Amino acid sequence: MSVDLTHPLVADYLHRLETAAAVLPATRRGDLVAEIREHLTDALAGTEQGADGEAAVRAVLDRLGTPDEIVAAEGAGGGGEPPASAIQPAAPPSWRPSPPGPAPGRAVWGPVEVIAVVGLTLGNFVLPVVGPVIGLACVWVSSQWSRREKVVATLWGLAAPIVLALLAMAALLAFRVEAGSGATVEQAPQPVVSEAFAPQSSEAFVPQSSEVVAP
Amino acid sequence: MMFAGASGLLLLVGFGVIGPVVAGIYLMVRLNRRANPWT
């Protein structure tokens, strides 16, 4: 059985991280914790339980750094002034994949990422349907985005088919409800005429020839 | 019925145009923020 996020060391680490990250804005805190969890899941995949597994877990957590260091690197203070460690040309946090290339700011934008973003935005107008599909394919091929980001982008990219499916389901449901209630077909109101006033036959109004008395 | 159909079509076209653009901008922002966390 492999080690997962429920391992006591990992759970304790995540708990300390969440506590330390309390100083960050909510969205940033959520992103940071989600990113660390995803990194740990990937890093611990294939690590077996036991003494060796525990050593491997400790090594992974050591490489990550302490929760306080991670939060400090993320920028305590709500994105205002960057911390001193960020001003210095320090090494990037170990939990972030360091892309190859001399300039980390630009290196994340490879051709796949550019095609993905351009396909989704401009491609949507130049090549409707095809552009976004190519863009989404590139999004899933790229390793620069987390799984969560890919899922969010895919949901947005497929918003139209999702809306179409929801509309179709709603219409189907509405027709079924209508058909169900329409089983008792409305009948045209029958004129209520009292039998006392209803003529039994046209003969009632036709004077019999024998009764007609000539003046 | 016709009104519902027109509304549905409008909604569909709207989401078809806006959805992928939102997805692209979202990914662009996320990647830029990752590349330059302090900007």
Question: How confident is residue A166, by pLDDT bands cut at 50, 70 and 90?
Answer: confident
Residue B25 pLDDT: 93
Q: How much is the average pLDDT of A17-32?
A: 85
Model confidence, pTM: 0.45
> Does residue A28 have a pLDDT over 60?
yes
Cα A75 from chain centroid (whole Å): 28
Residue A196 pLDDT: 52
Q: What is the mean pLDDT of chain A?
A: 74
Q: Do B19 and A144 touch (CB under 8 A)?
A: no
CB-closest option in A139, A156, A167 to B19: A156
Pick from A38, A98, A163 the residue to mutate for testing the B interface (most B CBs within 10 Å): A163
Q: Do B23 and A105 touch (CB under 8 A)?
A: no
Give the pLDDT confidence of A102-126 residue by residue, as tens digits.
Answer: 444 456 788 888 999 999 888 888 8
Residues from chain B that touch A75, judged by Cβ atoms under 8 A, are 37-38
> Does residue A177 have a pLDDT over 50?
yes
Residue of higher predicted confidence among A39 and A210:
A39
> Does residue A85 have a pLDDT over 50?
no
CB-closest option in B12, B26, B37 to A163: B12
Q: How far is the alpha carbon of B19 from chain A, nearest alpha carbon, in Å?
A: 5
The structure tokens 């976004």 sit at A132
Residue A209 pLDDT: 53
Q: Do B27 and A149 touch (CB under 8 A)?
A: yes
Residues contacting A183, CB < 8 A, separation 6+: none
Residue A20 pLDDT: 86
Residue A101 pLDDT: 42
For residues A58, A64, A69, A73, the Cα torsion angle rounded to the nearest 10 degrees is: -170
Query: How far is Cα A126 from Cα A134, in angstroms, rounded to an integer?
Result: 12
